[in-house]
Amino acid sequence: MQVKKAVIPAAGLGTRFLPITKSVPKELLPILDRPMLQYVVEEAAEAGVEEVIVVTARGKESIAAYFQPRPELEKRLTETGATDLLDSIQHASTLADVSFVIQEQPLGLGHAVLTAREAVGDEPFVVILPDDIIDHQPGVISQMLEVSDQYNGGVIAVEQVPWEVIHNYGVVDADDRGNRTHFVRGLVEKPAKEDAPSNLSIVGRYILPPDIFDCLEQTPPGARGEIQLTDGIQLLLEEQDVYAYEFQGTRYDGGTPVGLLRASLEYGLAREDTRESVSALITGLSRKLADY
């Protein structure tokens, strides 16, 4: 399936990350030196996505600023010969054509995706939640596009999680088809452990047909009183097949301070330019552990 567009919902209040999110959008919080948002735009671009539609809210204008040129800074970096830094600030805007739509009210993830309807038009697209950071080559969207091609249906990324935390997630009721792939029979958003149909939790990557928009139009508020994408996909099942795919890669929960710290440490170990200092940092800290 040729998928050219990605929707990245970034309109949330970031309550799990207050107080910093009072003035800094969660999506711009860094893993090392780059915002989370950049990692997911890179993942989309790697999968062939050419156009990224970011759904933001009023007060989060700095997200758009990140993708705009900074002529004065660029001039200065050119003059001082700081070519690496110059490349790094220009890189984000070369990845894809990034545009923005505003979600006027925080009515939920499903509503945020619906806000992008006009920008997406009548073609399949991907949804990427920028606080689910997943480290793998090839990226999760690339992996999912293969599944979508093979089964000719929508695809949702899932992973098995301990039953004790299942109430934090969307959960699928699914039939194993082998090769990490499951046929989705139903979905439920943030069920109590007793009501969860499985421990396969939804992770923030979706490949969806444009028909999802009609479904979202008809989706009533669900968990937390919000219009949930999970509930919209449940309606979609009446007309289209959807598959759940257990992706390859490590997921970091960039929506919480410790999850983001973990991501920074692991990316710091993986990156050549930071490996030595990050491993020295971890070794030093582990020696100090007994003092706490």
Footprint of ligand G1P (CB under 6 A): 109, 129, 132, 169-170, 189, 201-204, 228-230
Angular region, 49: left φ>0, alpha ψ -120 to 50, beta rest: beta
Nearest approach, Cβ of residue 210 and ligand G1P (Å):
20
Q: Which is nearer to ligand G1P, 144 or 202 (CB)?
A: 202
Identify the residue whose tokens are 């809210």. 57
Nearest approach, Cβ of residue 69 and ligand G1P (Å):
32
Q: Which is nearer to ligand G1P, 16 or 117 (CB)?
A: 16
Q: Which is nearer to ligand G1P, 92 or 229 (CB)?
A: 229
Q: Fill in the DSSP letter of residue 220.
A: P
Residue nearest to ligand G1P (CB): 170
- Across-strand partners of 48? none
Question: Are residues 249 and 134 in contact, defined by beta-carbon separation less than 8 angstroms?
Answer: yes
CA pair distance 166, 276, nearest whole angstrom: 37
Distance linking the first and last C-alpha atoms of the chain: 53
CA 134 to the chain's CA centroid = 8
Question: Are residues 172 and 198 in contact, defined by beta-carbon separation less than 8 angstroms?
Answer: yes
- Across-strand partners of 8? 54
Q: Which is nearer to ligand G1P, 231 or 278 (CB)?
A: 231
Q: Which is nearer to ligand G1P, 57 or 77 (CB)?
A: 57
Q: Which is nearer to ligand G1P, 77 or 216 (CB)?
A: 216
Give the contacts of 211 (CB within 8 A, at least 6 positions apart). Answer: 236, 239, 240
Nearest approach, Cβ of residue 181 and ligand G1P (Å):
18
Q: Of 137, 112, 8, 17, which Cα lies nearest the Cα of 64?
A: 8
Question: Are residues 242 and 152 in contact, defined by beta-carbon separation less than 8 angstroms?
Answer: no
Beta 250-253 vs 132-135: how paired, if at all?
antiparallel
Q: Which is nearer to ligand G1P, 43 or 132 (CB)?
A: 132
Nearest approach, Cβ of residue 109 and ligand G1P (Å):
5
Nearest approach, Cβ of residue 251 and ligand G1P (Å):
8
Burial code of 206-232, b = ≥16 C-beta within 10 A, e = fewer?
bbbbeebbebbeebeebeeebbbbbbb
Nearest approach, Cβ of residue 174 and ligand G1P (Å):
14
Nearest approach, Cβ of residue 132 and ligand G1P (Å):
5
